[in-house]
Amino acid sequence: MKLGRVRNIVVVAGAGISTGSGIPDFRTPGTGLYANLAKYDIPYPEAIFNIDYFSDNPHPFFSLAKELYPGHHRPNYVHYFIRMLHQKGLLLRMYTQNIDGLEKLCGIPDDKLVEAHGSFATAACHLCYTPYPAEEAKQAIMKGNVPICTFCAGAVKPNVVFFGEDLPEKYFQHAEDFPKADLLMIMGTSLKIEPFASLVNTVKSTVPRLLLNRDPVGPFERRPLRRADYMELGDLSDSVRKLAEILGWHTEIQDLMNSHENGLRSYTDPSNSSGTAASKQEFQPPQNSNKCLWSATKNPNILLLRCV
């Protein structure tokens, strides 16, 4: 990477990249989602994402969905490292299994991202696939109701891919992308779920594959490793930060993350004639800002932070 010999990186990611944002993964013993579903009274953990089980009984998924809907978590350093790959023109595509939407939230553009297991961004009837307004579905689910298809009266669900459902059209872009890759980065996944897991075997045999994960998974459990396979085991944020430091990108990533995260707290300048007040937020002064002025607004509950 430092010598500029790599131009088309494909990233393959799983739930392990979001644990740093406070979202449990699926299979880590004790803390993984599948170890904490007893309250849903389901026959086995994966049933909660099984389309046949959902068809008979959508309620366990809908109660879990209230906790899974994006909006309570923010992207972490690992997401911003992948965004930096894009900023540097090195990211061919990211294939994620995650449905938390954090890749988009950190600014990875749509054309660089394949959400292979879908997302909560859209919704449709699980029987006739008639599209349904995602926000309406979310409101119904949050209220404990089952959104019903206006066409066939089937249960509507967010377009996260269940076991037994087809992967989205965009997933099939892999047939073009993986043979083109000159480096494959595999992050935070157990590589247990097909057909996604087999993607890692579709790069050319001479292309380096780098696993960044707590433990060896998939082809990396084999000994000896394939010649061009490398792995850095341990906590993902530590390994990614180490890689960023070797590349000389750490400060840039930190700045990108601070500005993107702080820039999301929308507020208006007190001299703004429209005087529109800020939305009520807890501000943290952005790092390395030269000077920040707190100023009161008309609304006693809102302070404005202006950094110059």
The reply on whether position 229 binds ligand APR by CB under 6 A is: no
- Give the Å distances, CA to CA, from 164 to 27, 58, 140, 278, 296: 19, 15, 25, 46, 55
* 275 labelled ligand-binding: no
Binding characters for ligand APR, 43-72, by CB under 6 A (x = yes) = ---x--------------------------
The reply on whether position 14 binds ligand APR by CB under 6 A is: yes
* 7 labelled ligand-binding: no
* 141 labelled ligand-binding: no
* 215 labelled ligand-binding: yes
The reply on whether position 155 binds ligand APR by CB under 6 A is: no
Adjacency order of strands within the sheet including 118-125: 131-132, 118-125, 156-160
For residues 250-289, which are near ligand APR according to CB under 6 A? none
Catalytic, out of 86, 117, 126, 250 = 117
The reply on whether position 100 binds ligand APR by CB under 6 A is: no
Give the one residue of 215, 221, 245, 269 binding ligand APR; rule: CB under 6 A.
215
Give the one residue of 9, 12, 21, 25 binding ligand APR; rule: CB under 6 A.
25
290: left (phi over 0), alpha (psi -120 to 50) or beta: alpha
For residue 76, the minimal CB distance to ligand APR (Å) is 9
Give the one residue of 21, 76, 159, 213 binding ligand APR; rule: CB under 6 A.
213
The reply on whether position 134 binds ligand APR by CB under 6 A is: no
Closer residue to ligand APR in complex, CB, 66/192: 192
Cβ-based neighbours of 92, under 8 Å, separated by 6 or more:
8, 9, 10, 112, 177, 180, 181
* 100 labelled ligand-binding: yes
Closer residue to ligand APR in complex, CB, 25/229: 25
- Distance between CA 6 and CA 230 in Å, rounded? 16
How many CA atoms are closer than 13 Å to the CA of 186, on its beta-carbon side? Answer: 30
Q: Is 117 a catalytic residue?
A: yes
Cβ-based neighbours of 245, under 8 Å, separated by 6 or more:
none
Closer residue to ligand APR in complex, CB, 20/154: 20
Closer residue to ligand APR in complex, CB, 46/252: 46
Closer residue to ligand APR in complex, CB, 103/149: 103
For residue 69 the two structure tokens come to: 């809907």
Closer residue to ligand APR in complex, CB, 83/213: 213
The reply on whether position 104 binds ligand APR by CB under 6 A is: no
Binding stretches for ligand APR (CB under 6 A)? 14-16, 19-20, 25-28, 32, 46, 97, 117, 188-190, 192-193, 213-215, 217, 235-236
The annotated binding site for Zn(2+) is made up of: 125, 128, 149, 152
Q: Which residues carry out catalysis?
A: 117
